[in-house]
Structure 1
Amino acid sequence: MTARHQQVADDLRRLIASGALAIGERLPPETQLAARYRVSTPTLREALELLRAEGLIEKFQGRGNFVRRPVERLAYPHGAANGLHMNVSSGEITAGVDLSAHLGTPLDTLITEYVCVSHRGDTPQSIAHLYVPNGTPYTTDATSDSPWGDDLVLAASETAPAAYSTDLVTARFPTAAEAQSLRISTRMPVLAVERTFITDDGEVVAYAHLVLPGDRTEATFVTPIGTATETTEKKAEAR
């Protein structure tokens, strides 16, 4: 027998698909929905969580649940996306063990943390945390081509220019705070990327981690593997 919360989710899914619950429409309060379906509030919330995980509804803190507008999948060719609206805030923290290891700084070094949340329209697309030793406090609402916000933050901090970066990419579920910021379910997988910005001299100028929702992200990676001429030369050297 189908679980009760799945039955509730099936009916709400049908109402959304038929247009009886229109895009952008606010669902009735949870107490009313629970009474309508004759289920407990926890059971009703399980049903709503299923719909959030499917991207059919989203919850706004203090406002309730709304039928979600279909999101635009945003491509990041070569790690960039045109015309993101970026909200940047900053604060100071002291480096703990992990952050000290990533940045190569002593414990308790003063670090500037930048929180960069990108939007396309009114839909949050990503959230990034950048950590810069002795960075300049910086707050802005601006257009950025980078989901990291590094084009804004590193310029403002006047750090040495990074020559390259190393990335660690994982897929996981979001934390509760990430899910709230991105307006997604904690059951919606995300792409998480840790990046270290490094100068030609090997100095680490910044460390960052970026979270991208799995339902609205496409990433393209291009890896040079040498030209045909280089390959021929390598074969000739090997003979």
Structure 2
Amino acid sequence: MSTTAGLARDHDAVVDAQDIVSRNSALPLHAQIATHFRQLILAGMLPNGYRIPPEGDLARQFEVARGTVRTAMATLLAEGLIERAQGIGTFVSVRARLPQDDSSTARLLSTGERLIERGIEFQNTLLERRLVDEHRSLEAFSAHRVMHIRRLRTLFDGPASVTDTLINLDLVPEAAQLTDDSLAAGSLHATLRYSFGVEFTWAERFFSAELAPAEVAQLLGVAPGTPVLCHEEFSYTHEHDCIEYSRSWVRTDQHKYAVTVRDSRG
């Protein structure tokens, strides 16, 4: 998979449709446009107060429907990256400066979404998909119908992670109809969010060191028993229902996590 975002050289060169929008991408067009502007804003290439071109102009430049641009702008507005002034226009928000690496905690993004946002190319391979009835082995994740998928993520240097994901079909039954290509898309969170309107509002993430099981080690291209990072995540909706659970085994020579904490008192 190739990411579609490209950074403008100056404030006026906001878009280059050939570099930004790809109709062969797994991400919807509005998500690609939002990703492009998000990168420009977070990288400081569109300064605070910069006026975003009108939706009609952007639609012509990207060669997409005006509604597609409107949806992209609505995403950025919800994230607090842009703001609208009635009768004047849309501007980069003065509150838009966020950390520019994996340490950002202001938005709930999956690992795949962060890689896409940072312009890092990767490819997912769907290894398995199956429906499971009555899954109650995890205290926080309980559902009558579950879809289990396993994916291998590869970066430019080779295999990076193996991930098992459980999707709660009680909460999003339409996910059972997703094609294999959709399940192997760059970001499963993005697919669920933009295809079915799933709102991930908070998550619990757990990290531990483990020895790679034989099957996982073979997929990662390491010897069985090699230390790997285990990353578990429970993703919730605003109703506090666990809609997705994932468990990843990550090669630490291919990927690392960073976390920034802020004192709420200051």
Matched, 1:168 2:203: no
1:86, 1:223 → 2: CA distance? 30
Give the counterpart of 1:128 among 163, 180, 194: 163
Runs of 4+ residues deviating >3 angstroms: 75-79
Contact in 1 for aligned 2:162/2:250 (Cα 8 Å)? yes
Residue aligning to 1:112: 147
Residue aligning to 1:16: none
Q: After superposition, what is the alpha-carbon deviation per residue over 1:10-68, rounded to whole angstroms, capped at 9, x for unaligned?
A: xxxxxxxxxxxxxxxxxxxxxxxxxxxxxxxxxxxxxxxxxxxxxxxxxxxxxxxxxxx
Give the fraction of aligned pairs with identical amino acids, expressed as a percent.
14
SS in 2 for 1:219: coil
Give the counterpart of 2:179 among 116, 138, 144: 138
Identify if the C-alpha distance between structure 1 residues 95 and 177 changes in structure 2 by more than 3 Å, giving closer, same or farther: farther
Q: CA RMSD in A?
A: 2.6
Higher CA-based Rg: 1
Matches within 5 A, 1:53-202: 78=104, 79=111, 80-81=114-115, 82-88=120-126, 89-99=128-138, 101-105=139-143, 109-121=144-156, 123-134=158-169, 135-136=175-176, 137-140=178-181, 144=186, 149-152=188-191, 154-155=192-193, 158=196, 160-202=198-240
2:233, 2:146 → 1: CA distance? 16
1:95, 1:114 → 2: CA distance? 16
2:185, 2:136 → 1: CA distance? 34
Shift of 1:77: 5.0
Q: Give me the TM-score of the superposition, normalised by structure 1.
A: 0.53
Instruction: Identify unmatched segments of 5+ residues in structure 1.
Output: 1-74, 232-239
Instruction: Identify unmatched segments of 5+ residues in structure 2.
Output: 1-100, 105-110, 170-174
2:243, 2:218 → 1: CA distance? 29
Shift of 1:143: 5.9
2:242, 2:225 → 1: CA distance? 34
Amino acid at match of 1:126: S
SS in 2 for 1:98: strand
Higher relative contact order structure (alpha carbons within 8 Å, sequence separation ≥ 6): 1
Contact in 2 for aligned 1:125/1:212 (Cα 8 Å)? yes
Q: Give me the TM-score of the superposition, normalised by structure 2.
A: 0.48
1:159, 1:115 → 2: CA distance? 23
Number of residue pairs matched by the alignment: 146
Residue aligning to 2:44: none
